[in-house]
């Protein structure tokens, strides 16, 4: 069996000094021509956040907080995969693998890992290939299907022959594929995967073809989809077509990397106009640091190049599926749009929260995940 190695988050002092120097030497653009975020993250706030990052943000304290979890790496299919593996003290704990997306990271889950272990779950949080402390693919082919197969290998390597999977964003795509695999049989009659059930906070649903009359909920979802396509998806087009070109600027400029990510925290969180209304400044920078410190802007963006054309493709998930539907999700698909794609046995319409569910609303997230997986364990 392949080795599993303990891992500690430890960014070199020289890298932190270089970051501080780059932040202090930023060449700034002129201010936007509007008094809102419609042209992008405003100059005044970006400068304020960058100054805090350079002069007050304490990465070593944040690093120690992240290292309270048990981190490991293991090689799967020629690539080092980083993951948190936090075991519950309960002897009959049920394992769940939780997958982040872009522009997220394992930092998203720092408020939910311990509560889930206290409620009887072993929690595994891998970093996607090319993200955070996982290795960066040097060849094409690391798309959603391959990641789903790697997570199956990972859970087996950890000794789990039955588990649940949870995810949002790219994590939802990976989790959906794990669910498809878990519900299939090989020609010999055995299970292809060992996943028992999946839970999503961003299910992939589409308006039914041929339907011309829609409910108020469906009309709101269509309006949100059109807004995303017209005004909120430029990042996706660039990352799915020319991720390498984008990477030069973001890997070289910490303010560029910060702005590229934080604008999405403004747009995709339930924050009433400002990301710091729902996340602390330190939490936002913790997540940015996992991209900056690992120089993973290009490698993370390549997942779009690898997988975007297949997003939402494939057969239905036959495993039991739970959904937590948050009101400020990027694309909040109504249940009626998801029924053909999933075997939905649990659906919760949340009162608040957005795209980064575990980060924004950890108590709601934990309650729903625990309730759903307790029903299938």
Give me the pLDDT at residue 209, please: 80
Give me the pLDDT at residue 314, please: 80
In the β-sheet with 4-7, what is the strand arrangement from edge to edge?
4-7, 71-76, 79-86, 121-126, 94-99, 163-167, 195-200, 317-325, 342-349
Which listed residue (169, 270, 286, 368) is catalytic? 169
Backbone torsions φ then ψ of 185, nearest 5 degrees: -120, 145
Is 308 among the domain residues? yes
Is 230 among the domain residues? yes
Which listed residue (100, 110, 199, 355) is catalytic? 355
- Say whether 15 is catalytic: no
- Say whether 355 is catalytic: yes
- What CATH number does residue 212 fall under? 3.40.50.1820
Residue 113 vs residue 184, higher pLDDT: 113
Which listed residue (160, 163, 304, 342) is catalytic? 304
Is 300 among the domain residues? yes
Contacts of 258 (CB under 8 A, 6+ apart): 46, 49, 50, 53, 285, 288, 292
Average pLDDT over residues 6-28: 98
Containing structural domain, residue 276: 4-27+70-374
- Say whether 304 is catalytic: yes
Is 323 among the domain residues? yes
Whether residue 198 has pLDDT greater than 80 = yes
Whether residue 310 has pLDDT greater than 80 = no
Structural contact between residues 101 and 171, judged by C-beta atoms closer than 8 angstroms: yes
**CA 316, 317, 320, 322 torsion-angle sign:** negative
Domain count, the chain: 1
Whether residue 273 has pLDDT greater than 70 = yes
Q: Between β-strands 94-99 and 71-76, what pairing exists: parallel, antiparallel or unpaired?
A: unpaired
- For 192, 202, 207, the CA distances from 219, given in Å and listed in that order, are 39, 18, 10
Whether residue 308 has pLDDT greater than 90 = no
Residue 296 vs residue 314, higher pLDDT: 296
Whether residue 123 has pLDDT greater than 70 = yes
Is 278 among the domain residues? yes
Average pLDDT over residues 227-239: 96
Longest dimension (CA), the chain: 65
Is 249 among the domain residues? yes
Distance from C-alpha of 130 to C-alpha of 330, rounded to nearest angstrom: 23
Smallest CA-to-CA distance from 175 within 43, 9, 342 is with: 342
Is 220 among the domain residues? yes
pTM comes to: 0.96
């Amino acid at each position: 069996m392949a080795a599993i190695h303990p891992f500690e988050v430890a960014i070199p002092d020289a890298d932190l000094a270089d970051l501080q120097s780059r932040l202090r030497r930023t060449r700034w653009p002129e201010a936007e021509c509007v008094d809102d975020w419609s042209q992008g993250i405003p100059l005044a706030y970006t400068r304020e956040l960058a100054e805090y990052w350079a002069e007050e943000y304490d990465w070593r304290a944040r690093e120690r907080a992240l290292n309270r979890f048990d981190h490991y790496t293991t090689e799967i299919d020629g690539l080092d995969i980083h993951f948190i593996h936090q075991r519950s003290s309960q002897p009959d704990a049920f394992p769940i693998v939780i997958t982040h997306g872009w522009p997220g990271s394992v930092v998203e889950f720092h408020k939910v890992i311990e509560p889930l272990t206290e409620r009887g779950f072993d929690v595994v949080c891998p970093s996607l290939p090319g993200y955070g402390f996982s290795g960066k693919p040097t060849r094409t082919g690391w798309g959603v299907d391959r990641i789903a197969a790697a997570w199956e290998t990972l859970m087996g390597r950890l000794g789990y022959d039955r588990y649940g999977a949870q995810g949002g964003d790219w994590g939802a795509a990976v989790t959906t594929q794990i669910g498809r695999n878990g519900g299939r049989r090989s020609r010999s009659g055995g299970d292809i995967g060992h996943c028992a059930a999946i839970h999503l906070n961003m299910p992939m649903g589409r308006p039914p073809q041929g339907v011309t009359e829609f409910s108020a909920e469906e009309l709101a979802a269509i309006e949100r989809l059109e807004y995303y396509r017209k005004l909120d998806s430029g990042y996706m087009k660039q990352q799915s077509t020319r991720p390498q070109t984008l990477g030069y600027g973001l890997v070289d400029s910490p303010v560029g990397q910060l702005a590229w990510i934080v604008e999405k925290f403004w747009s995709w969180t339930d924050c009433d106009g400002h990301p710091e209304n729902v996340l602390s400044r330190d939490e936002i920078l913790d997540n940015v640091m996992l991209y900056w410190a690992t120089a993973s802007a290009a490698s993370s963006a390549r997942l779009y190049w690898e997988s975007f054309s297949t997003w939402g493709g494939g057969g239905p998930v036959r495993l039991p599926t739970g959904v937590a539907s948050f009101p400020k999700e990027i694309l909040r698909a109504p249940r009626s749009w998801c029924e053909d794609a999933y075997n939905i046995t649990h659906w919760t319409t949340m009162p608040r929260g957005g795209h980064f569910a575990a980060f924004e609303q950890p108590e709601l997230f934990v309650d729903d995940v625990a309730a759903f997986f307790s029903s299938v364990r």
